[in-house]
Amino acid sequence: MQNIILFDTTGIHQEFLPLTFTRPVSDIRIGIFTIREKWESRLPGIYSYDTADYLTVKYPMNIASNSFFIAGNVCPDEKLVAAISSLSECESLFYGDELIAFYGSLDAFRKKDFGVKHTLNEEPFMIRKLYDIFLKNGEALEADYRYIVSSGKSEPLSASNRVIGDPCFPDGTPKIFIEPGAVVECSVLNVTKGPVYIGKDAEIMEGVCIRAPFAACEHVVVNMGTKIYGATTLGPYCKVGGELNNVVMLAYSNKGHDGFLGNSVIGEWCNLGAGTNASNLKNDYSEIKLWNYPTGRFLRTGLQFCGLMMGDHSKAGINSMFNTATVVGVGVNIHGSGFPRNFVASFSEGGAAGFSDVQLPKFYSIAERMMARRGKTLTDVDKDILEAIYNQTESLR
């Protein structure tokens, strides 16, 4: 099979911190699938990564004489897959100055010897900024949804539910898809603005109100009375309650109780305690500035709405409050009254009164207990990655 390497440039990888502290860009979930999963389903091959050095033990590169190198922040469609598949040795595909794909040797790729350059006339679907994950989630979700519907058959929706809006797209494609083992009872599904996808063994409890586009991946649980506005994606094994609006949760994270979360991206193994609220709009309606890791400062975004951006293994105690556009790193434990600052560095503990360091042994103990509840373990490889992050961010704490 053809060898396919999803590559991160240093700049792109840093733009998606804190999420990419613990993963390559192509392992970010947007829509229903991660970017890697999108490529695997559309372009068969042996997939691996070219990413940050400290991640390579967990995310290695498979080396072959010739490989397809594809930018890890680019999502596939039929035209792009066809264009990449047609590349011959020492040929590349660009959009403007951005390398989208190259076919050739690792040595040529490293030397940026991209050979014959072909140019795309239209911009492919890609993410460039951290907030693109929620901004572009609706478009990605519908594309993934249509791919799923084209190759599968939905389970029937229970008659106890209420559907609002035309149940089909104009082309006849149904707007609701339910995987085997999923349970949806006595809920309201408004499909006026898009599709609803319910993954394998997911559960949507009674009294839930959902406005599409919406995706609940496998084993997701949506608690009773939850209110969800699109475009929202809940990754595998997430559990939610309260009110969500345009939220992407990557996997294994919980917001199980009342409280508002909007225009936000939450990593893996996070927990937001009961009553946690995150502002997504400033009181004066002004433009939002968001912490940017590459520059080490807050940058203008052009956005009016932006909520909480949280890295893996971070937690917030009950009744926590987050200011508009707050960035929280990896392994953070937030608690206490008042608003913490808008940027909280990795491996910090505290709140509005200030923060102190979280030592790695204490962090490992918490992470191991949380992961054990889902039958997962914190491996030595994971610990090495987390230690590397700890050392990288020591100056920020």
Percent of the chain residues past pLDDT 90, beyond the cut: 97
Q: What is the pTM of this model?
A: 0.96
| pLDDT (tens digit per residue) in 120-170 | 999 999 999 999 999 999 999 999 999 999 988 999 999 999 999 999 999
pLDDT for position 395: 73
Q: Average pLDDT in the 200-217 region?
A: 98
Helix, strand, coil % over all residues of the chain, rounded to 5: 20, 30, 50
Q: Is the pLDDT of residue 397 over 80?
A: no
Residue whose pair of structure tokens reads 């911009």 in the numeric block: 123
329 contacts 344 by C-beta, under 8 angstroms: yes
pLDDT band at residue 24 under the 50/70/90 scheme = very high
pLDDT of 152:
87
**Please, what is the average pLDDT of the chain?**
96
Q: Could you report the per-residue pLDDT of 319-350, keeping only the tens digit for each?
A: 999 999 999 999 999 999 899 999 999 999 99
Q: What is the pLDDT of residue 393?
A: 86
The whole-angstrom separation of Cα 118 and Cα 111 is 18
Q: Hey, what domains does the chain have and what are their CATH numbers?
A: 3-127 (3.90.550), 133-396 (2.160.10.10)
Neighbours of 379 (CB within 10 A): 11
Beta strands 239-240 and 254-255: pairing type? Answer: parallel
